[in-house]
Amino acid sequence: MGIPYFPGCTLHVKAKGLDDSTRATLAALGLELTELPEWTCCGTAFPLAQDNYMGMVASARILAKAAKEGDGRLVTVCSFCYNVLKRVNFALKNNDEARTKLNAYLEENYNGELRVLHPLELLRDDLGFDSLKTRVDRKLKGMKVACYYGCMLSRPAKEMEFGEPENPALMEEFVKAVGAEPVDFPYKTKCCGSYQVLNNYDLVAGRVKDILKAARVRDSEVIITSCPLCQFNLDWLQDRFADEDKSFSKIPVLYFTQLLGIALEISVAKLGLDNHYVDPKPLLQAG
Amino acid sequence: MAAENKMVSIYIMGKQYEVPYGVTIMKAMEYAGYRFIRGCGCRGGFCGACGTVYRKPDSFRLKVGLACATMVEDGMHLTQIPFYPANRASYKLEELSPSLGTLLQHYPEVTRCLGCNQCTRICPQELSVMDYIAAAQRGDIEKTAHQSFDCIMCGLCASRCPAEIVQYNVGILARRLYGRHIAPRAAHLAERVGEIKAGKFNDELSRLMQMSKEELQRRYEARDIEQ
Amino acid sequence: MTSEEMTRKVKELSGQNPYLCMQCGLCSASCTGIGVMDLLPRQVMRFLQLGKEEILKNRSIWMCTTCLICTARCPRGIDIARVMEALRTINLRKGNDILAPEDVPAELLAEIPQMALTSGFRKLSA
């Protein structure tokens, strides 16, 4: 029996590479994950209106079911899922009204006892980065990596407990542990434009250009993230940018677990590297 | 005798009627003078045409059932919701690919699911409706198809959905995609259809068609039945 | 909706006090959506302080990506993202929205991770 794991909707098809690489890498490091038996969408966006408990019901039910697994932990890797599950869990634990209203609605009682964990936290706390260092090949030595957290992992700081709201460092520690070199990346928690991609191309294109440029300025060879929507926004638009501007040079956008998989020499087929718009395969030859 | 004559009070769309104890909602409504032109089909609990919402006097909870398969109770408030004017995409199945993109193109509103679970609570077939919508939302067509398999398309789920999702139409799209594009082809079926087309059974069929009714009956009763 | 009603409702929905804002503009300088906004977040806060109801009809409230950078930086501790959400919520609860499923182009629907739809509908659709 592994640690209870909530993959999230997008990881079933669109971000299958994130799901596959998360399971494969953590299993290779002795951290087996077991998918929850039945789960729904988490709701993705935490409701910010004080009385919007309806927006928390889906996450609350997922947490209540996960608590029945008896492990005391729930692991999820998608930044949106992580953000909303952790925030709803916080509300269930600390907000009496939220707890009362949500429990009146659920099929079972749950009071926020779980710890919602990101795989980066598992790697740091359960495995340890020192131990991770001894497990990786030297393949990534010297590779310059831009760690892109996006807006979901570290904010709000009090609820997420993921480091400084604008300057978290966990992903950089991870990059060092796998033998690569994190670059100084001031745009690491700037939002990519998120769901505005649905009907606001200019907003997203502007943000993505700035983020890619900031990564390029520091000679990054790859950007890593744990968010399928950041990954999509940063990756998908590059073809169009390259068409518009012949001097634009593309930069692959990987999930951090895919980078970990490369470092652990897990077979490429298990890492889902084929579904990226900017081909990350040349990186594999780098080492 | 007394039990047979027992009457109960029910409220159809708010109006009180005295109807016999122990009959279905559908029979009670007909007893009360309603005549069904729509909202009635097989009368046997299969076709899903007579979805009905009711409430018992001691509870705020709304319950559902098929009018042809639910017994009246004293003090019951009810109305039929035989049809719901919900979104229904049109498509050419053979031109679709069995993908998440297809589901989202036809029913993007599945991503509006709030997880409130009202659809599951109301389903007269006791399907895990919320779970098959969750599967559709993540692009798991096979699971959506299997979990929605017993859906009778009564539409009650859609009547309760705050996200305006049409669960039953999402389900049938998934089952069609599954049947047409994902389920493995049955080789023996194709072979048999080929045999039929080639006329292998023509002689036998024409023999049957010329038989007397008595002979057919005799053969029918003596047939092999798969246990 | 009168201006008093609007102010009361925004306070209630956001749990924030707009009068704490000292108009320093750090939120505007930080904002993700700034390039496509007509009123900057600082101006939204000012309009709210002045009770100008036209803020409810403003485009800016729909350009917010709820990235919480304004909230993280506000020196007065105002959760500005919650104020923006309150202004959207007042609209959404009347059925005023800016994103309908049928508005999203079919080719984008085929490509996009569905989480964009889920979150977009939650924030921008009634």
Contact B100 C114 (CB under 8 A): yes
Size of interface B-C (CB pairs under 8 A): 34
% of chain B surpassing 90 pLDDT: 88
Count of H helices and E strands in chain A? 13, 8
Q: Give the confidence band of B3 by pLDDT, cuts at 50, 70, 90.
A: low
Per residue in B70-113, pLDDT tens?
A: 999 999 999 999 888 999 999 999 999 999 999 999 999 999 99
Residue type at A104? A
Domain-by-domain residue ranges, chain B? Answer: 2-80, 93-182
Rounded CA-CA distance C67/A190 in Å is 8
φ/ψ of A117, rounded to 5, equals -120, 145
Per residue in C29-57, pLDDT tens?
A: 999 999 999 999 999 999 999 999 999 99
Decide: A87 and A116 in contact? Cβ < 8 Å. no
Phi-psi label, residue A155: left if phi above 0, alpha if psi -120 to 50, beta otherwise: beta
Q: Give the confidence band of A66 by pLDDT, cuts at 50, 70, 90.
A: very high
Q: Give the confidence band of A286 by pLDDT, cuts at 50, 70, 90.
A: low
Phi-psi label, residue B122: left if phi above 0, alpha if psi -120 to 50, beta otherwise: alpha
Average predicted confidence (pLDDT) for chain A:
96
Q: Say if B87 is an interface residue toward chain C (CB within 8 Å).
A: no
Specify the CATH number for B2-80; select among 3.10.20.30, 3.40.50.720, 3.30.565.10, 3.50.50.100. 3.10.20.30
User: What pLDDT, on a 0 to 100 scale, did the predictor assign at position B1?
Assistant: 45
Contact A232 C98 (CB under 8 A): no
The single residue listed with the structure tokens 């027992």 is: B6
Task: Evaluate if residue B2 carries a pLDDT over 80.
Answer: no
% of chain A surpassing 70 pLDDT: 99
Superfamily assignment of B93-182 in CATH? Alpha-helical ferredoxin (1.10.1060.10)
Which residues of chain C does A155 touch, with a Cβ-Cβ cutoff of 8 Å? 67-69, 71-72
% of chain B surpassing 70 pLDDT: 98
User: What pLDDT, on a 0 to 100 scale, did the predictor assign at position C1?
Assistant: 83
Q: How far is B105 from chain C (nearest CA, A)?
A: 6
Burial of C13 from C-beta contacts in 10 A (0-12 / 13-18 / 19+): buried
Task: Evaluate if residue A85 carries a pLDDT over 70.
Answer: yes
Size of interface A-B (CB pairs under 8 A): 53
Rounded CA-CA distance C111/A196 in Å is 15
The H or E element spanning position A132 is helix A129-135
User: What pLDDT, on a 0 to 100 scale, did the predictor assign at position A53?
Assistant: 95
Q: How far is A60 from chain B (nearest CA, A)?
A: 9
CA distances from A222 to A149, A175, A194, A284 (A): 14, 11, 20, 11
Contacts of residue B33, defined as CB under 8 A and 6 or more positions apart, other chains included, come to none
Q: For chain A, which chains pass the contact test of at least 3 CB pairs under 8 Å?
A: B, C
Tell me the average pLDDT across A181-204: 96
Domain C3-124 is in which class? mainly alpha
Rounded CA-CA distance C27/C72 in Å is 9
Task: Evaluate if residue A111 carries a pLDDT over 70.
Answer: yes
Which residues of chain C does A199 touch, with a Cβ-Cβ cutoff of 8 Å? 98-99, 103-104, 120, 124
Task: Evaluate if residue A272 carries a pLDDT over 60.
Answer: yes
Per residue in A27-60, pLDDT tens?
A: 999 999 999 999 999 999 999 999 999 999 999 9
Nearest to A257 by CA among A211, A225, A281: A225
SS3 B52: strand
Nearest to A13 by CA among A279, A272, A237: A272
Complex-level ipTM:
0.95
Task: Evaluate if residue A79 carries a pLDDT over 90.
Answer: yes
The H-assigned helical ranges of A156-277 are: 157-160, 170-177, 201-217, 228-236, 238-244, 256-263
Picking from C13, C33, C67, the nearest residue to A49 by CB comes out as C13
User: What pLDDT, on a 0 to 100 scale, did the predictor assign at position C103?
Assistant: 84
Rounded CA-CA distance C101/C112 in Å is 13
Q: Which domains does chain A have, with CATH numbers?
A: 3-119 (1.20.1050.140), 134-286 (3.40.50.11810)
Tell me the pTM: 0.91
Strand B76-80 versus strand B51-55 pairing type: antiparallel
Task: Evaluate if residue A285 carries a pLDDT over 90.
Answer: no
Per residue in C74-119, pLDDT tens?
A: 999 999 999 999 999 999 999 999 998 888 888 899 899 999 999 9
User: What pLDDT, on a 0 to 100 scale, did the predictor assign at position A164?
Assistant: 96
Domain-by-domain residue ranges, chain C? Answer: 3-124
